[in-house]
Amino acid sequence: MTTPSKKSYTNLRRHIIITLCIVAIIPVIFIGGGVYFEYRKSMTAKIKNQLTSIVMHHKESIERFLHEASAAMRLVVELKSFEEISQQNILKLIFNTLQIDYNHAFEDIGIIDHKGNHVAYVGTHDLQTRNYSSSIWFKEAMEKQIYISDVFLGYRNIPHFIIAVGRILKNGVNFNANINF
């Protein structure tokens, strides 16, 4: 019988250690990878749910603001005659009241006739001479009693949207307000 040499024991020892390390590391890698991917999936779902909740809350706040602002403008149109709201001093008073009630959200306010011309205007931009008859928002506003536009640049090259409240009169008056975005 031959006796194994010291070199063969060293090789056997090395082979056993490598095998034990591989056998021990493989389950750790699989379990760690599984835990990582499950944790990542769980956190992604949780973050998505939180962001969805925040977005829905903001959507509701914006819709509430738009509803309240358009209702206030609708009230002005119903309570005041065309002649009254066409006067610069009355329109300025209405604008100032809306600014106080809505935390200075309104950029300007104007009365526009059925031809798209400003009859009266209060604001910081030089829009009194502008004609809106070819504007998409003006055409929509002439068809509806309340129209809220999408955000656009318009004449002023500043992102804003328009809340237009119309009243069917012989001259088709629109009462509109602009809010910068």
Instruction: Summarize pLDDT for 123-149 with one digit per residue, the tens.
Output: 888 878 888 888 888 888 878 878 888
**Residue 147, CB half-sphere, CA atoms under 13 Å: how many?**
20
Cα distance between residue 92 and residue 16, in whole Å: 91
Q: Residue 168 — φ and ψ, nearest 5°?
A: -75, 110
**Residue 118 is encoded by which pair of tokens?**
């400003």
**Residue 20 is encoded by which pair of tokens?**
């034990």
Write down the pTM of the prediction.
0.70
Going along the chain from its start, the domains and CATH numbers come out as: 81-180 (3.30.450.20)
Per the CB < 8 A criterion, the answer to whether 116 and 129 are in contact is no
Cα distance between residue 68 and residue 60, in whole Å: 12
Residues 39-98: tens digit of each pLDDT: 999 999 999 999 999 999 999 999 999 999 888 888 888 888 778 888 889 989 999 998
